[in-house]
Structure 1
């Protein structure tokens, strides 16, 4: 499941949330204070993936759990309302990109004591990139629950036709293979440079040695980032990547003749390829990202479990958090949802032995979250606006990044 991006808390948003509370939004209140009934807010359209574990928890502990399943498109607004009214869930599923907002608003409980005293949820049990999304100023506010990262999807059969018996391993090879694949005919491309994903360009910038932000000083107009984005812009200029969304299904873009035979995406795309692309097993694969000048760094995302700071049932909420954080629960959740475990030990289980799945495991060793600051989502949206004329019209990358850098400095210094 791909998490939608979280918007930062602003004074206007909090005011709007308070207005909603005043209009009688009483369904978000915590379930009493006897600790025998708690509320768990879960992101998604249905709770079928998590309900079996929650039912098992209730059977074991006697603590009843009301799961409130909220679509990700509405999740942030609901949580803003709860934070503003200081009433809401006991346990909450947090998208990793939303952590900084809710830590800064003091909406999440500091669980450092529990994390440091319970070896089962010790930070060393998890992937480093996931742990970083839970720790702020030396304190822990969540436990990693599921993780995702991005890898390269590619058509093995078509790459072989242009001289590649395996996936490109470097930027040079990626560009060469994509260019050759784009020569197959009209409306054929080699690689998708995603201009609708706000982390895409920053991921490549890190591969080129960029530090995105130092303290409160953005580095977007510095050489490492500009060079990386100029590299990506070349795919548009030579026709190796489409300049706009082609509105194709995965079956249309990656199946058949594959107008787009290489793209970068997360684990949620695996099921779609298997179901809709109509490919034989040996026609496609996934690989760790090609290496830039410095590394092949990918982006860490996923979901964390946190206790709502205004819960009256913190002890019971922590019990559920710990129960869902066990290796067996994470593996059951993976089976039900394809959301990958954050516990490193879980990856030895046979359910994750598929060679394609293990590529994600390998990539997680070279994967980091985007900067954990509350302004990041707005920065991402500003990046997309700055990048669009580069993709569509061939605008100057340096000028676009100068503009983004200036906008970001203003955001960070408010």
Structure 2
């Protein structure tokens, strides 16, 4: 979930805790297999000849832009009414999983894109291939590969990517100038050198900022850049303890010496204060941080900039997060539901929902990301748009992984505090993770 910066942070934590219960709850059904013919047919999808209502579940139904799009949709499709069913961002996943278990899902939902395959694997969603083949608006090849991976299961697309963000580097241009550093680091070696040069512990100045409580999430970009992954491709074994993983962990953990210790037990949202004060010169975060700086610290304009993360041995890699639109297999108004999803996916609507708002969301399509319009409308997002092609959508599909990630987070946190080495952190997490996978 990437909309609303502070809410997204809370929702992400809740989502991790709920992942196991979601997997169990989503299994609840009446035992009937979904209709595999939904969406298939000749020619474009036509409007219903009688009034129909499409229920739309999300945490964004009260957003003015969403309401505006629903009103415009109704003008174009007078026989279709969109009924918003809202839940707070931090409760949305739990509410939706409960409804799926009770066989009362909505027709369409706006969900965390990374949850799409989990719902699809349990027969809760509609394969959208048939519908996409019948229209000209939604083109699978136009989606960024990472976001397409999020919504693909068994080589079929079960969701339409709708918005997203990448993780990039924020840096204080004033601090860089004072230190005589020409620009943002482009390699790991340059990053380490800059962090060291920007650190003056005696005066409370640091080159970087880390958070032990979110250590796994912010380690993943380094893992991918080193050529590693969390699990093997089949999702059945631990992969993060590979040689590449240990190289990434050692580099990442050692950055703690250039980070303020007082913030290690904090989180990336609260830690924004240190960057805003100039105590920290480099800060890794999603594009949401650009909006936070503009909203909360307007006087800093001109004193910070954003850039792609430095490249590792495997080149340009970063984590991505986003949301997708899905249709549930129990819908009785599938054509009307598709017309709503297709309408929201029109280029103008994707642009108006993402970079043309006050927020910092990015569209998930290659055509919009590469358009001059994006760079003109929201220049600060250009580095993050460039990173989209480097985005890695986690291939983790094992429902047991959230428990493993919790352990990985704890172990890396201990290494950041100096209680063990980076290699020991990965070995310990892998040993406990494999025990979980074997159950």
Give the structure-1-normalised TM-score.
0.88
Hey, what does 2:44 align to over in structure 1? none
Hey, what does 1:332 align to over in structure 2? 352
Q: Paired residue for 1:350, among 370, 373, 379?
A: 373
Is the contact between residue 210 and residue 225 of structure 1 (CA under 8 Å) also seen in structure 2?
A: yes
Per-residue deviation at 1:320? 0.4
Hey, what does 1:318 align to over in structure 2? 338
Mapping of residues 13-412 of structure 1, within 5 Å: 14=25, 36-44=52-60, 46-62=62-78, 63-183=80-200, 185-197=202-214, 198-214=216-232, 215=234, 216-237=236-257, 239=259, 242-245=263-266, 249=270, 252-256=273-277, 258-334=278-354, 335-336=356-357, 337-347=359-369, 348=371, 350-353=373-376, 354-373=378-397, 374-412=399-437
Q: For the structure 1 residues 280 and 201, does the alpha-carbon distance in structure 2 shift closer, same or farther, using more than 3 Å as the test?
A: closer
- Residue deviations 1:188-245 (CA, integer Å, cap 9, x gap): 2211233333321122111111133222121122111111111111122455665332
Unaligned runs of 5+ in 2: 30-49
Per-residue deviation at 1:17? 8.8
- Secondary structure of 1:393's counterpart equals coil
Is the contact between residue 170 and residue 305 of structure 2 (CA under 8 Å) also seen in structure 1?
A: yes
Provide the aligned C-alpha RMSD in A.
2.6
Is the contact between residue 212 and residue 218 of structure 1 (CA under 8 Å) also seen in structure 2?
A: yes
Per-residue deviation at 1:161? 1.6
Work out the CA distance in 2 between the residues paired with 1:174 and 1:120. Answer: 42
Q: Which moved more, 1:347-356 or 1:283-292?
A: 347-356
Work out the CA distance in 2 between the residues paired with 1:47 and 1:342. Answer: 20
Is the contact between residue 97 and residue 372 of structure 1 (CA under 8 Å) also seen in structure 2?
A: no
Is the contact between residue 45 and residue 71 of structure 1 (CA under 8 Å) also seen in structure 2?
A: no
Is the contact between residue 221 and residue 402 of structure 1 (CA under 8 Å) also seen in structure 2?
A: yes
Work out the CA distance in 1 between the residues paired with 2:142 and 2:329. Answer: 25
Q: For the structure 1 residues 399 and 328, does the alpha-carbon distance in structure 2 shift closer, same or farther, using more than 3 Å as the test?
A: same
Per-residue deviation at 1:288? 0.4
- Residue deviations 1:36-91 (CA, integer Å, cap 9, x gap): 11111112483323111111111110211111222221011111111101112111
Is the contact between residue 207 and residue 281 of structure 2 (CA under 8 Å) also seen in structure 1?
A: yes
How many pairs does the alignment contain?
399
Is the contact between residue 22 and residue 94 of structure 2 (CA under 8 Å) also seen in structure 1?
A: no
Unaligned runs of 5+ in 1: 19-33
Work out the CA distance in 2 between the residues paired with 1:410 and 1:212. Answer: 16
- Secondary structure of 1:221's counterpart equals coil
- Residue deviations 1:353-402 (CA, integer Å, cap 9, x gap): 24321111111111111224133433322221222211223312222212
Work out the CA distance in 2 between the residues paired with 1:238 and 1:345. Answer: 39
Q: Which moved more, 1:146-155 or 1:367-376?
A: 367-376
Is the contact between residue 121 and residue 153 of structure 2 (CA under 8 Å) also seen in structure 1?
A: no
- Residue deviations 1:121-155 (CA, integer Å, cap 9, x gap): 12111111111111111111001111211110000
Give the structure-2-normalised TM-score.
0.84
Is the contact between residue 237 and residue 394 of structure 1 (CA under 8 Å) also seen in structure 2?
A: no
Work out the CA distance in 2 between the residues paired with 1:52 and 1:411. Answer: 47
Per-residue deviation at 1:248? 8.1
- Secondary structure of 2:163's counterpart equals strand
- Secondary structure of 1:185's counterpart equals helix
